[in-house]
Homo-oligomer: A and B are copies of this chain.
Amino acid sequence: MIKNRLLLDALNGDNVSRPPVWMMRQAGRYLPDFMKLKEKYDFFTRCKTPELAAKITLMPIEQIGTDAAILFSDILVVPQAMGVDVEMRKELGPFIPKPIREAKQIEKIVIPDVDDNLNYVFEAIRLSKQMIDNRVPLIGFAGSPWTVLCYMVQGQGSKNFDIAKSFCFSQPEAAHMLLEKITTTTIKYLKSKVKAGVNVIQLFDSWGGLLSEDDYQKFSWHYNQKIIDSLKSKTKIISFSKGCWFALPLMAKSGVDALGIDWTCSARNARYLTGGKVTLQGNLDPSRLMSTPKEIEKLTKKMIAEFGVQKYIVNLGHGILPNVPVDNAKAFVNTVKNYSV
């Protein structure tokens, strides 16, 4: 039985004494201990060595005291399992040496045996669960098929993913074939993650906000909904689509347990657009953790007052920046833990 049930209660819509708090992602990238491991082991070595991944996963709960752990991993292990090389380059970030640009490349992609190809993830989950020892829930995650396609086609990070979008708009049939294959793989992957022991799944759609409302529905949400439909009887699901305020009314009816909100959508707008019924998660601007601890406390209290204590998970509006001072991250988390109505 998990002792700290705040996150699970908030996801169930049950009453809580204060909202749970955790910070996207990745686990601990701003912590000195993480940086030491980063100097010794490259990114995918850390992902693929269960002992290292588990060690990193536990850092934020042990050093900052968050109410949940999130597995240290990456959304791009999915295309790797599908046979597409993904490297992590210093300065540049993810890099795909042979990006997808033609239908015939997609035809060749086979749906992998995830239990074989991604076994290191499930090992990392089992080990993390042992080490967490029921103190807090463990969150697993996957990228949305749209976001994974963005990287597979663009070949690297981008301001506007112009190559990926041009591909989808000039070769829509090929794009949908790829999205189908990513979706099928992701569903299998997430089912195995749940079997291995994660308590909650978060779907990250980092680049959904690059699409219009119509195109988001076609190229992104359609596939997220398939994943949600396949997983919702098995686990709790949080869906976070950055920049997708326009789709919140649609997402609120999808069957997810919570919706992530970025900082450009105020609590008032988010509650209004979701009809006030769904648990919401977010949304402090990650750059705001560069303010003073006093200012962070003020902003965090204001945020809780605006979202409300119930049906709310305190978080950032996107991933924590690597250069955030540890004391500032603690100021954020401690403000929530000391919050009294």
Contacts and interface: CB of A to CB of B under 8 A. Distances in A.
Given A162-B321, A287-B166, A212 B243 contact: no
Contacts of A170: 290-292
| Complex A-B, nearest 6 residue pairs according to Cβ-Cβ distance, in ascending order | A165-B287, A166-B290, A212-B263, A169-B291, A169-B290, A213-B266
What interface size band does chain A fall in?
A: 20 to 34
A235 interface: no
A215 interface: yes
Given A212-B263, A243-B243, A245-B246, 20 more contacts: A157-B159, A160-B287, A162-B287, A162-B321, A169-B287, A169-B290, A169-B295, A170-B291, A211-B263, A211-B264, A212-B266, A212-B285, A212-B288, A213-B266, A215-B285, A215-B288, A243-B264, A245-B245, A246-B264, A246-B265
A269 interface: yes
Contacts of A265: 246
User: Copy number of this protein in the oligomer?
Assistant: 2
Interface string A210-240: 1111010000000000000000000000000
A169 B285 CA distance: 11
A264 B207 CA distance: 12
A209 B210 CA distance: 12
A250 to B, nearest CB: 12
Interface in A52-88: none
B264 A209 contact: yes
Interface in A89-116: none
A321 B158 CA distance: 14
Interface string A151-178: 0000001111010011001100000000
